Every structure is written in structure tokens, then in C-alpha cells.
Amino acid sequence: MIRQAAMAVALLATWPAAAQTDDMANPAFLWVEEGKALWSERPRPGAKSCADCHGAAETAMRGVAARHPAFDAKRGRAMLLTQRLDACRVEHQGETPFEPESRRQLGLAAYIALQSRGLPVAIAADGPLAKTVAEGRALYTRRIGQLDLSCAQCHDDLVGRRLAATAIPSGHVNAYPVYRSDWLGMGSFWRRLGNCTTGVRAEAFAPHSPEHVALESYLAARGNDLPMQAPGFRN
């Protein structure tokens, strides 16, 4: 028993690090299991599952998350991975879009992102997505909120410095969606964005709003060549 107690204490101390390298220590994988089940589930009799059209996610979805957000020629606009999922849900399955931040949406996004793990982020930022990326960059460098701070002031100028007890990260999105112990659950980049906009006392952007799409596109492109780490783990 004593040995086990000591082990539990040791584990607590190393948990955040362990969760990055050991899937079992990252509760995000509970969501991944749900996404996996959803991949081959028919939403209603007669409707097609994702697997019915795409086949095995391991092959069909490999690299897909690494190149999203992407410009969609058919629809003439930038699309986040979660907007892609909604497009298939609505147009190909005849269902309603996923509820933002629901277990189903996050689970499926995490499961698809997992198929790109380790691959370099590969956003086609100089093609037709360039306009959206530029809009994102403009938002990123614009001062907002009562605190009158831009994203860049923290995530470019003060990386590694501390905001109270928290180290300021470089603001990459290659690990999103993440499990966050502080949230007791998973969240997408949009949820994280809400924390940062609220932090500077600015109004939060709606999920899938043009601002959300632009910022996510810019941050993803800014992280080009980084290895995909989703689903990540944060304290």
C-alpha cells in the first residue's frame, strides 16, 4: 500500500507531462472513443454514416486536420475542420449541425485530428486562404477590450513571461481540441479564444463567426510545420 501511495504522489507530480506522452493519462481519449463510435454510426435508418462514404478514418482522414482551416472552392470560403463536419452532417446526412463544444462535436474533431498526429501542420496560406489569414493577422495585432491589449502583445512579445501564475504560451493551435483539467473537460480553440477575449475584457466572438475563422486560420498558418499534437492536454 505504501508503495502504491508513493506512486500516486509521483504520478500527480508528473501528470501534465505524462498526459502529453501517454494517451491513457489524457482524458481527451474518452472523447476520442466517442468520436470513433460516431464515425460509423448512422444518424437514423437510411442515412449514411461518415464511414459509409469515407471508409476507414485512419486512411481517409490522415492529414485532413493538418491542412485545415482550408479554402473550400465549392463554397468559396475558408472552412474550419468543425465547419467541414457540419457541412457533411447537413448536406450528406440531412442532420442539424453539431452543437458547438458538445461531446459529439469535440469527440469527432479529436478523432479526426488524431489521424494527423505527428504530421506537420500544412496550411495552404498563400493560395485563396491568404485573404482570411491576413484578416486573422489584422485581428491578432489589433488592441481590443477594456485592457486594450492585442493577442500579439502577449503571444508574440511576452511568450514565456508569466500572467499571474500562468506562463504565456506562443498561442499555437496544433494541439486543439485539448482536454483541460481546469475545464474538467475538452474544448476547442474557440473555447480557449473565449478565455483570452474575456481576459482582456473584450466581447467574445461567436463560434464559427468570421473572426473565429480568421483567427484560427492565421494561428494555424503561423504554426505551419509544427507537428500535429491534437488532442492535447493542458492544465
Partner 1 sequence: MTRVLIRVPKTVKPGQEFEIKVLISHPMETGYRRDHQGTPIPRDIVKQFRCTLDGEEVFRAEMFPAIAANPYFFFHAVAERGGTLRFEWSDERGTAWRESAALTVE
**Residues recognised as catalytic:** 196
Own/partner pairs, 9-12, CB within 8 angstroms, 24+ separation:
none
Residue 113 contacts which entry, partner 1, ligand HEC, none (Cβ below 5-8 A, type-dependent): none
Among 103, 131, 172, 234, which residue sits at the site for partner 1 (rule: CB under 8 A)? 103
Nearer to partner 1, 29 or 218 (CB): 29
For residue 121, the one-letter residue type is: V
**CB within 8 Å of 196: residues ≥ 6 apart:** 151, 154
Residue 88 contacts which entry, ligand HEC, partner 1, none (Cβ below 5-8 A, type-dependent): ligand HEC
Hey, is 83 helix, strand or coil? helix
Calculate helix-pair angle for 189-199, 210-222, nearest 10 degrees.
100
Pairing type for strands 70-72 and 178-180 reads: unpaired
- Quick note: the x/- pattern for partner 1 over 174-193, rule CB under 8 A, is -------x--xx--------
Q: How many residues interact with ligand HEC (rule CB under 6 A)? A: 39
Looking at 1-9, 12-20, 25-33, 166-174, which segment touches ligand HEC (CB under 6 A)? 166-174
Residue 82 to residues 23, 73, 139, 185, 213, Cα–Cα distance (Å)? 23, 17, 21, 18, 10
Residue 190 to residues 80, 121, 173, 184, 193, Cα–Cα distance (Å)? 11, 19, 10, 16, 5
Among 172, 183, 208, 227, which residue sits at the site for ligand HEC (rule: CB under 6 A)? 172
Looking at 30-38, 130-138, 212-220, 222-230, which segment touches partner 1 (CB under 8 A)? 30-38
Q: Please report how close the Cβ of residue 148 comes to partner 1 at its closest, in angstroms.
A: 28
Burial (CB count within 10 angstroms: exposed 0-12, middle 13-18, buried 19+), residue 103: middle
Residue 184 to residues 15, 27, 181, Cα–Cα distance (Å)? 15, 9, 5
- Contact status: 198 vs ligand HEC (CB under 6 A): no
- Contact status: 25 vs partner 1 (CB under 8 A): yes
What residues line the site for ligand HEC (CB under 6 A)? 48, 50, 52-54, 64, 74, 84-85, 87-89, 92-93, 108, 112, 140, 149, 151, 153-155, 163, 166, 168-169, 171-173, 189, 192-193, 196-197, 199-200, 215, 219, 234
